[in-house]
Chains A and B, each alone.
Chain A
Amino acid sequence: MRFSISPSANKNALKSHAWLGLAVSVLMYWVCLSGALSVFSQELLRWEQPHIADNLDYTPASIQTAYERFLAMKDGITNGNIVVRLPTHDMPRARISADGESWNISPSGTLSEPLSTPITDLIVDLHVALHLPEDIGMMIVSMLGAILVALIISGVIGHRRIFKDAFRLRTGNNEQLTQGDLHNRMSVWGLPFHLMIAITGVYFGLASFLTSIYADTLYDGKKMDLFADLYGTSIQVEHQPKVANIAQALSEIDSIAPNTQPVFVTLENATKDNQYILLGSQHLDKLIYSEQYRFDSHGQYIDKVGYSDGDAGQQALFSVYRIHFGHFGPEAMKIFFGLMGFALTIISVTGINLWLAKRQMQGALNQLWLGFVWGTPIGLTVAAILELTLSLPPKPVFWLVLVAGLIASLMQNVLAKTHHRLLNVLAVLLVVLAVTHFVGHYPDSLVLNSVIIDAAFIVFALCVWRYRHSRVRKGWNS
């Protein structure tokens, strides 16, 4: 028996693929590019404040001291929960936050300085909510996840030579052929990854709609009962001391859950009579973000929520974050996820490039697309440079530069010239960014994390320059 897709189904699938791809082109590109960079958000956080020493030698007592100092600074009252992020190998720094305020903690327990990461926020917020208000932005980004699934389905059905061309990559003078091969090979061989990114991406902004219907169906509309089943019930404690004994909880966790990595402490109902400690500890053989161990304010162990040995479904839901961002396993996994993310970015760009090439004409759409593709990294880089040098807010700078890039692209009718200028600008800016950061933060920028990231910018600049050079060599510069 031979399985084949009829030519008409094939044709319709391609039509659908092109239509959907075009409809979400720019948004998909932004989400993919910023997503690939967001994989390294923890490294970027450290790169932005290289003078804060990376250290894993925090003691429970130093965390307790920091918490008490923070509490004193807030006059003993907070509106929301207090969260302490504990140092881990991938983020060897501790910080404490509440009511939108976040402070770095030194290993001695002092509050060293507020957390300030506008460049990382610029990238992560673009990925999470496209710089829109969070609720709307997250919904739009999640919808893109569903559209990505549709693109995957239509791509597979529409790819007539999926097996025949399984290993074919033709490079050389025929740009359209190369881009088509790149688009197809990267899509097909990365399919499980892309599908997983799309499905988990939908979860963040839209799962709440689905759970509302489930609550109506299975819990008589009682959403809190559904949440209790999925995320565990909250516990009731009374007459708790105002200052919690975090140190005691941190000291106990080793015996309660050996071979786990504590990652955060949350003071639920902080500073209230019913406050208690929630200690999140990562199980290194599982994908769930963490198991949550609960202690009363005295630091006495109460129970665990039970994600680590709960239903498979519960574990699957708690694994979404780490699967989506590749925050599991060794540091190399992040690099792999970053590469996969860049591949998805290339797929989204080459897809539109192919559609534009098939129009057999050039026009404003070509100019705008070029402006978006290269204007976005240029905007991100300029925003980062101006933040580092003049402390200008990165988000408005990014959008201004992008708009300027689009206008400039529209003013030049010879696309090759625009392309080469944008590549030149990007290559130079990437070098400037690395140098600005290195010089501006010297000698703190000599730490390994900063050196690697600055070097990565130089490598990216060389890649951009090489790409430009290869186009010039082929005579595609006029």
Chain B
Amino acid sequence: MLYSIAAFVGSALAIGLFYRAWQSNQLAFKRVAKLGALGFMLVSLNLWVHEYGPELGVCYAVVAFSLQAWSWIFLARQRIDKDIKRIDLPFVKGLGMPGRVESVNAIIKILACVFLSAVCAMLVTVVWTTALSIGKVNLIALGIYSMPVLWGAAAYWLCADSKLWRPVLVLSGLSVLSYISIYSV
């Protein structure tokens, strides 16, 4: 219990130091405070792990840190009560349907984000994880945990690139290459 309290206080101090660093204009103080905050974070993490083991300890550390940060932000909120005139935006009737080109583009994007990104992420994940020299079970677990990140990155790129054909081409190419690498051996 004492370790838990110490860990909780440690992460609160870390947040406090981060806050002071954020507030300060002095570069030297900022650096020291940030280093100190990182130190407290590590100490806090160690204490959580010491008390509850590595699995639960890491979870408690993450949850405590996020909640303390939110609490700190809430307590340090700035109230701006300037007499800002609320502008009533004009009301436009109807749904304002997009044009044909825009709609087709949107459908391609959605399909690519959902299907192409998924297929590419899965195939690429299998290729890169099976290249590692670790046990089968571990590499499958690594793949299951990392595949969503690749999928998300692919979906992000599809929507961020101004030229849709670029990510579509690259993701399709990667998918084909990965497929060949997996199924031609």
Residues of A within 8 A of B (CB): 9, 12-13, 15-16, 19-20, 23, 143, 145-154, 157, 163, 166-174, 177, 185-186, 189-190, 192-193, 196, 198-199, 202-203, 206-207, 209-211, 213-214, 216-218, 226, 229-230, 285-287, 310-314, 316-317, 319, 323, 328-329, 333, 336-337, 339-340, 343, 359-365, 413, 474-476
Contact = CB atoms under 8 A, between A and B. Distances in A.
B113 interface: yes
Nearest to A20: B159
12 contacts: A149-B152, A166-B18, A173-B81, A173-B83, A206-B118, A210-B147, A214-B130, A286-B56, A316-B145, A362-B90, A364-B95, A475-B86
Nearest to B81: A172
B144 A147 contact: no
B122 A210 contact: yes
Given A146-B151, A333-B60, A340-B67, 19 more contacts: A9-B160, A15-B160, A20-B159, A143-B114, A167-B23, A172-B82, A173-B80, A173-B84, A174-B84, A193-B66, A198-B152, A213-B182, A285-B53, A285-B56, A311-B137, A313-B141, A333-B63, A340-B63, A362-B90
Nearest to A153: B156
Contacts of A186: 70
Contacts of B117: 146
A209 B129 CA distance: 16
Interface in B137-185: 137-145, 147-149, 151-162, 182-183
Contacts of B74: 169
Interface centre among B52, B141, B152, B182 (most CB of A within 10 A): B152
Contacts of B160: 9, 12-13, 15-16, 154
B148 A198 contact: yes
A167 B17 CA distance: 12
Nearest to B96: A363
Contacts of A333: 59-60, 63
Nearest to A316: B141
B137 A229 contact: yes
B52 A146 contact: no
B159 A16 contact: yes
Interface string B44-62: 0000000011011001101
